[in-house]
Amino acid sequence: MKYILILALSLFSLTTYSQDNETTSEITTYYLIRHAEKDRSDKTDRDPNLTQAGHERANNWSEVFKHVTFDAVYSTNYNRTKQTATPTAKAQGIELQFYDPRHLYSEEFAEDTQGKTVLIVGHSNTTPIFVNTILGEQKYQYMDDNDNGSLFIVTLFDEKKIDQVLHIN
């Protein structure tokens, strides 16, 4: 509940800033998470499914995001990321879209998501790189392989970039 309040207050303060500003600009907000807990029983499986705990976390993410209205939900095309993103996409009535983890935050992606609120589900290496690419700086390192609860929020408005990381477990 504490995290939902923090998210709501963050969004409210940005909306208030925009309304008070004489020239209202578009606000783009990205929520980036890593996939939930994956099945590690077969080391040769390059596309594992989520574990039961992972499915529970994916459903929990949907609850965390229930007060955020997403315009789009993106995932890489791997079982674990799709399974993490699906509960939120379904709850919001949004079709899951895919992005190539080798081409993060392209000019086309930036244009397609400008002025929108977007959830992006990735991996321990791609999620921080995606955030860094949006920010235009090398601020975040790869995530620990057991970190399934970090939430990166990046907001763009008036040539400003604001980022924060919440840990939701």
> Is there a contact between 152 and 106 (Cβ–Cβ < 8 Å)?
no
Tell me the per-residue pLDDT of 50-83, one tens digit each, with 9 for 90 and over: 999 999 999 999 999 999 999 999 999 999 999 9
Domain extent for 109: 2-167
Q: What pLDDT is stored for residue 18 in this prediction?
A: 43
Tell me the per-residue pLDDT of 13-48, one tens digit each, with 9 for 90 and over: 444 444 444 445 799 999 999 999 999 999 999 999
Tally of domains within the chain: 1
- We report the CATH number of the domain holding residue 43 as 3.40.50.1240
